[in-house]
Amino acid sequence: MSRIGKKPIDLPGGVSASVSGQTIEVKGPKGTRSFTATDDVDLKVEDNTVTVTPRGKSKRARQQWGMSRTQVANLVTGVTDGFSKELEINGVGYRAQVQGKTLKLALGYSHDVDFEIPDGVTITAAKPTELKVEGIDQQLVGQVAANIREWRKPEPYKGKGIKYKDEFIFRKEGKKK
């Protein structure tokens, strides 16, 4: 039995869910998200709770059970609270600023990097060295943060680069004379 799949998902106030076939649509204060489950699970909405049950005892049905429940729970979290990733920029002269739908990054290259902000994601720069990526889609927020980090990954000697706020950079010792 899936421990994760067994737990019902409570819908907070202001959030509604509707099931049509294998697709569940969740509406909340921040927007609307939907998820299409495989044919191995059943989705039911009753009394402000969503339950996911497997259709059989096959291995695939048990695998999809927990995963589908987590996906639906992430939809509910996204439309109520949203998701965010925080990035830090370390390095002399490294900075970022948001101009409209473009994020301008100065990362030690001979040119500034212009990163187009996709729809569904907002990026704010409280300081020139701190970025916050926010949105209702957890996968999209994580992918955008990873794409920004990809421009200049943190290096192990001085720690220069773009890193997640809670990330630990393993430091190496430099050359010795």
CA dihedral 76→84→64→59, nearest 10 degrees, is -140
Report pTM: 0.86
Q: pLDDT category, 34, cuts 50, 70, 90?
A: very high
Average model confidence (pLDDT) across the chain: 91
What letters, b where the CB count within 10 A reaches 16 and e where it falls short, cover 154-163?
beeeeebbbb
Which of 125, 115, 120 lies closest to 149 in space, CA to CA? Answer: 115
- Longest CA span, the chain: 71
pLDDT tens digits along 91-145: 899 999 999 999 999 999 999 999 999 998 999 999 999 999 999 999 999 999 9
Element at 62 (helix H, strand E): helix 59-80
